[in-house]
Chains A and B, each alone.
Chain A
Amino acid sequence: MWFQERGEGRHITNMKTLKIINFILIFILVIFIQDIWWFRFQPDFFLLFVVVSCIYFKSESGAAVSFMVGFIQDILFSLNFLNTLTKTVIAAIINLIKDKLILNEDSLAVVLTAIFSPLAVIFKAGLQYLIYRQNLIISVFLIEIFWVTLLNLVAAPAFIYLFKKSVLYE
């Protein structure tokens, strides 16, 4: 019997390793897409990553993933650390409210994407003003909110599907 249990234990470890590898691969894919994106406006895949991680993972893991996602986004695509703070705050809020919303996980992910896409832009603009004293032109700011929210909502179902299939094996 002992060898059977040992075999199962190894299988679980292998599955965990595979899930972590898939998780990293999806993150690299997100970086890749962000890097090759041709158009002026783009979906915030990093935000989708944060929302989905906070919903499907435990609170601590969701917060840690969100911090790392924001940090790497800042290192690669930004000149300050606004994304790190924004993503961590969003993770904290999601962890606070996710149990209070009576929705299945997939619908919750889409709803939270719809809520946090414009909020993330507004929050970043606020931080930019408060910390870096940078004003934004209102028209440019509103257009950004519109496009980011729209593109995030378009990309969300496909992203959630990919995440569930490759990381959660559902």
Chain B
Amino acid sequence: MNGSRTIIIVFLILALSLNLAGIGKSSIVSLVKSSFLFVFSPVHWISHSSAGSLTQFFSFIKSAGELNRKNQELIQENDKLKAELLSCQSLRKENENLSLALTFAPSYRNEKLIPARVISRVYDLWSSQIIINRGKFHNVEKGYAVISSDGLVGRVVEVGSYSSKARLILDVESAVSVKSLKSEIIALAVGRGDNLLKLKYVPSGSKVVTGEELVVSPSSELSFGIPVGIISKIKESETALFQNIELTPKVDFSKLDIVYVVSGKG
């Protein structure tokens, strides 16, 4: 009985030490985590791929009846887009010429986008994170921004050899400095643990409106201008110092598949 108690106490101390070591970002803990990440990345990849196939299969069955109608619509849309593409190409050429004329180098940020596939995702109250199939081997580093075609997804927090973990902006530990291009307020977008963000430190009386878009602010470590979210709810109290604002992220996190790691920190 005493022996078993000792063993349980040893495990308790070990568990507590792991948490305390984790706070200090111990190099041993990071090493253990990245090793496990490396070992388990095939598991994530296999389960995510099979889940994706299952979802695709069920959605195919569900939408079989609509396929013909959608096909016709797509053919029409394709023709329309082809015509638009032709006009866009000429506009692009014109834009390039004008940029050159203004000596405005197109790659002024000196950043590169590394395409990556999401191989695992966790969204719960405790942590909102994704695992992507790009790591040290692909020049991904800790702190790099992760974006999708819609906007900011999160930031790389752990890097393995061939995979990395990124903390989503929905995570309760995530905070991004944002700026409104319309009212020019600068605030902090923090995760709430659900599908929304909270906008902090917007003084009462600031003229912000619902529907206003916020992007990464120039003061952030991340690249300026990446869309973050849209103001969906404002609760102003007469006595409070700051407004209580809810932000809906631009990115639909339930449909994340391909993301881009922005190499460089703004």
Give A87 to B195 CA distance when docked, in angstroms: 26
Q: Are B125 and A67 in touch, CB under 8 angstroms?
A: no
Give A124 to B198 CA distance when docked, in angstroms: 22
Q: How far is the CB of A142 from chain B (nearest CB, A)?
A: 11
Q: Which of A36, A81, A84, A136 contacts B193 (CB 8 A)?
A: A136
A63 beta carbon closer than 8 Å to chain B: yes
A75 beta carbon closer than 8 Å to chain B: yes
Residues of B near A161 (CB, < 8 A) are none
A104 beta carbon closer than 8 Å to chain B: no
Q: Which of B18, B124, B195 contacts A84 (CB 8 A)?
A: B18
Give A41 to B165 CA distance when docked, in angstroms: 21
Q: Are A81 and B18 in touch, CB under 8 angstroms?
A: yes
Residues of A near B124 (CB, < 8 A) are 40-42, 144
B77 beta carbon closer than 8 Å to chain A: no
Q: Name the residue on B nearest A44 (C-beta).
A: B124
A70 beta carbon closer than 8 Å to chain B: yes
Residues of A near B157 (CB, < 8 A) are 79
CB neighbors of A among B81-140 (8 A):
120, 122-127, 129
B37 beta carbon closer than 8 Å to chain A: yes
Q: How far is the CB of B28 from chain A (nearest CB, A)?
A: 13
Q: Which of B7, B37, B123, B192 contacts A40 (CB 8 A)?
A: B123
Tell me what chain A mostly uses at the interface: helix, strand, loop, or mixed.
helix
Interface residues on B, range: 35 or more
Q: How far is the CB of B26 from chain A (nearest CB, A)?
A: 11
In the complex, the number of residue pairs spanning A and B with C-beta atoms less than 8 Å apart equals 135
B55 beta carbon closer than 8 Å to chain A: yes
CB neighbors of B among A52-95 (8 A):
58-60, 63-64, 66-67, 70-72, 75-82, 84-85, 87-89, 91-92, 95
B48 beta carbon closer than 8 Å to chain A: yes
Chain B interface (Cβ < 8 Å from any Cβ of A): 3-5, 7-8, 11-12, 14-16, 18-20, 22-23, 32-33, 36-37, 40, 43-44, 47-48, 50-51, 54-55, 120, 122-127, 129, 157-158, 165, 167, 171-173, 192-195, 198
Q: Assuming A75-B32, A76-B44, A80-B19, what are 15 further A-B pairs, CB within 8 angstroms?
A: A31-B47, A40-B195, A41-B124, A59-B4, A60-B3, A60-B4, A63-B8, A70-B15, A78-B122, A79-B127, A79-B173, A134-B173, A136-B172, A140-B192, A141-B125
Chain A interface (Cβ < 8 Å from any Cβ of B): 28, 31-32, 34-36, 38, 40-42, 58-60, 63-64, 66-67, 70-72, 75-82, 84-85, 87-89, 91-92, 95, 121, 124-125, 127-128, 131-132, 134-137, 140-141, 144
